[in-house]
Amino acid sequence: MNSHPTPHTFTCKPSGPFDLAHQNSYFGGWPTLAGDPEAIVMAVPLEGFEHAAAVVLRQPRHGRISGEVHGCHGAQADTAWKQALAAISLDVDASGWAAVGSRDPVIGRLQVRYRHLRPTLFHSPYEAAAAFVIGHRISIRQARAMRARLAEELGTSIRLDGGTFHAFPTPGQLLAAVALPGINETKTARLRAIADAAQDGWLARGPLRTMQQDDALAKLQTLPGIGAFFSKGILHRGAGTIDALLDDEITRFAIVEAYGARTASAQAVEQIAELWRPYRTWTGVLLHLWARTELQLPARHQTRRPRRIPQPAPTA
């Protein structure tokens, strides 16, 4: 159990529209403080350190983001704050995000509908890789329960406002554990390889963001159990690419539906996506969200029943 009596405080002014509560309601699902339900809490293992921290984020009246970092100090606190901002895409200059919608009315309508929602990421590529390995061939609910159990039994626990928040185990904590509760032998070996890579320093947001995409994907696929699909998930949802073009079936399906296209060939997608630069990943996330929540997806991709209407609302 860990606690820190004097939290380190930080502030950030979002560039471009941002609504923390709206972001959390769609993507995050982070816990909140008992005494302050508008404050979200991220318990994170710190990149580059064998420590964890709890970051409390608030946004009074949709203005500046304020943060309190508990459980660490100095450079560790600064790292924790930066990881929390990255997890909600606040480490990116989004001053041109709204302009994408001005250039492309289809995306503009989605931005308005979802209030300029940004991608929400894992706390680090390390956590993303671990989550994909744990979740392989089991349900989302089972995977979340397993990750929560690992955090509770092996990770760092931090008490705040009468509650206890558990960070996913650091790489060192995973490697030091005699066994990983609830995890089979194959997945345990893969998680230990991921922890080794994280300790070596290359399975981190900075290095993966600066690599050429093909090189980053190839590097990630050297990890046992990480193929083409998982490597893209780690890169896009862990490292947090900003202007990578998502090339997957759901994106192509959403483009056909949204733009009335007959097909969504690679060439057609690239042509449409030229208007989305330099936020092509962010735009792809919006299309994914719209397709998954409002369209009748092909049966193999259905995770919930469609809702609302099957086309973006027309502008006035």
Q: What is the mean pLDDT of the chain?
A: 91
Q: Is pLDDT at 232 greater than 50 in this prediction?
A: yes
| Domain assignment present for 115 | no
Classify burial at 262, counting beta carbons within 10 Å of its beta carbon; exposed 0-12, middle 13-18, buried 19 or more: exposed
**CA distances in angstroms from 233 to 68, 86, 290, 314, listed in the order given:** 29, 16, 19, 32
| Residues forming beta bridges with residue 69, ordered by sequence position | 8, 55
Classify burial at 14, counting beta carbons within 10 Å of its beta carbon; exposed 0-12, middle 13-18, buried 19 or more: buried
| Domain assignment present for 310 | no
| Inter-axis angle of helices 280-294 and 249-259, nearest 10 | 80
- 193 and 257 part of one domain: no
- 188 and 229 part of one domain: yes
Q: Is pLDDT at 33 greater than 60 in this prediction?
A: yes
- 85 and 183 part of one domain: no
- 186 and 160 part of one domain: yes
Pick from 74, 95, 116: which residue ends a domain? Answer: 95
Q: How far apart are CA 298 and CA 308, in angstroms?
A: 17
Provide Rg for the chain, Cα atoms: 20
- 49 and 69 part of one domain: yes
Q: How far apart are CA 102 and CA 294, in angstroms?
A: 23
Pick from 217, 239, 261: which residue ends a domain? Answer: 239
| Domain assignment present for 118 | no
| Domain assignment present for 116 | no
| Domain assignment present for 105 | no
Q: How far apart are CA 127 and CA 130, in angstroms?
A: 5
| CATH number of the domain that residue 186 is part of | 1.10.340.30
Structure confidence at residue 310 (pLDDT): 33
Structure confidence at residue 119 (pLDDT): 95
Tell me the backbone φ, ψ of residue 41, rounded to 5 degrees: -125, 125
| CATH number of the domain that residue 83 is part of | 3.30.310
- 86 and 137 part of one domain: no
| Domain assignment present for 75 | yes
- 183 and 266 part of one domain: no
Q: What is the mean pLDDT of residues 237-264?
A: 91
- 50 and 150 part of one domain: no
Structure confidence at residue 305 (pLDDT): 37
Asked if 78 contacts 12 with a C-beta cutoff of 8 angstroms, the reply is: no
Percent of the chain past pLDDT 70, that is, above it, reads 92
| Domain assignment present for 139 | yes
pTM to 2 decimal places: 0.90
What one-character-per-residue DSSP string does 48-103 give? TSS-EEEEEEE-GGG--EEEEEES--THHHHHHHHHHHHHTT-SS--TTHHHHHHH
Q: Is pLDDT at 2 greater than 80 in this prediction?
A: no
- 232 and 132 part of one domain: yes
Structure confidence at residue 311 (pLDDT): 38
| Domain assignment present for 268 | yes
| Residues forming beta bridges with residue 44, ordered by sequence position | 53
Domain housing 45: 8-95
- Give the number of domains in the chain: 3
- 174 and 138 part of one domain: yes
- 163 and 260 part of one domain: no
Asked if 280 contacts 274 with a C-beta cutoff of 8 angstroms, the reply is: no
Structure confidence at residue 168 (pLDDT): 98
Q: Is pLDDT at 141 greater than 90 in this prediction?
A: yes
Pick from 212, 239, 266: which residue ends a domain? Answer: 239
Amino acid occupying residue 227: G
Structure confidence at residue 29 (pLDDT): 84
